[in-house]
């Protein structure tokens, strides 16, 4: 186990199935058990609140990054190891990127899809080489990737785009992938022209 920082993108809602919430809790506790720092959106709501609460409850280090205008709306998570308040959503994503050695994506809504697409695009443009791990809870990631496959099939992205992300079946597989990951030099730095 190496000490790495993992940025988790996930819903600010809980979704309709209990499996979503349980997966978020399992991921937070699993990261803490491995001494991996959780970086997340800073809110005390939905799956993001669940993953942070489980990590903190298991003695983990948790860094929240939240735009000022969302602090009241999402109710910032109390008692974090570190809270970073940004001036915009764009700055939030840049800071979440900069603090990450790897990304794990759990189910979520439009904001989660936005975060995923941006980080995949940055990887496509060779701005980073960090792992992007989609956790396929109840088929969620498969449906997202089906859309990306349609984009590729229509000729709007190359076949090689499929190498930009990984799909794992559950949280245990995501944690196993992180256990095997060691950041190499140069992959973590943000290119200033991004």
Whether 2 has a pLDDT exceeding 70, the answer reads no
Per-residue pLDDT reduced to its tens digit, 45-67: 999 999 999 999 999 999 999 99
Which structure tokens are listed for 126? 């060779």
Mean pLDDT, rounded, for 159-183: 96
Give me the pLDDT at residue 1, please: 46
Give me the pLDDT at residue 186, please: 46
Whether 184 has a pLDDT exceeding 80, the answer reads no
Whether 36 has a pLDDT exceeding 70, the answer reads yes
pLDDT > 90 fraction of the chain, expressed in percent and rounded = 88
**Residue-averaged pLDDT of the chain:** 93
For 10-165, strand residue ranges (E) read: 37-40, 62-67, 82-86, 102-105, 132-135
Residue the block writes with tokens 């859309």: 147
N-terminal to C-terminal alpha carbon distance within the chain: 31
Q: What confidence category does residue 27 fall into, taking pLDDT thresholds of 50, 70 and 90? A: very high
Per-residue pLDDT reduced to its tens digit, 103-145: 999 999 999 999 999 999 999 999 999 999 999 999 999 999 9
Q: What confidence category does residue 167 fall into, taking pLDDT thresholds of 50, 70 and 90? A: very high
Whether 193 has a pLDDT exceeding 80, the answer reads no
Give me the pLDDT at residue 107, please: 98
**Helix or strand or coil: residue 174?**
helix
The full set of domains in the chain, from first to last, is: 5-179 (3.40.50.450)
Whether 70 has a pLDDT exceeding 70, the answer reads yes
Residue the block writes with tokens 């809110």: 43
Whether 91 has a pLDDT exceeding 60, the answer reads yes
pLDDT > 70 fraction of the chain, expressed in percent and rounded = 93
Give me the pLDDT at residue 5, please: 97
Round to whole Å and give the CA distance between 106 and 114.
Answer: 13
Instruction: Convert 54-88 to b/e letters by CB count within 10 Å (16 or more is b).
Output: bbbeeebbbbbbbbeebeeebebbeebeebbebee
Give me the pLDDT at residue 190, please: 52
């Amino acid at each position: 186990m190496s000490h790495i920082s993992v940025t988790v993108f996930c819903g600010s809602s809980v979704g309709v199935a209990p499996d979503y919430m349980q997966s978020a809790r399992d991921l937070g506790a699993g990261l803490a058990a491995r001494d991996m720092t959780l970086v997340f959106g800073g809110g005390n709501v939905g799956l993001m609140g669940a993953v942070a609460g489980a990590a903190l409850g298991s003695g983990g280090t948790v860094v929240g990054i939240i735009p000022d205008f969302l602090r009241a709306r999402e109710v910032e998570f109390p008692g974090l190891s570190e809270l970073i308040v940004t001036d915009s959503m764009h700055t939030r994503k840049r800071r979440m990127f900069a603090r990450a050695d790897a990304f794990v994506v759990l189910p979520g809504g439009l904001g989660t899809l936005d975060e995923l697409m941006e980080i995949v695009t940055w990887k496509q443009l060779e701005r980073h080489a960090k792992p992007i791990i989609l956790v396929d809870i109840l088929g969620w990631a498969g449906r997202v990737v089906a859309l990306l496959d349609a984009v590729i099939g229509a000729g709007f992205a190359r076949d090689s785009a499929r190498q930009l992300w990984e799909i794992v079946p559950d949280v245990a597989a995501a944690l196993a992938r992180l256990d095997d990951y060691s950041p190499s030099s140069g992959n973590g730095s943000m290119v200033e022209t991004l």
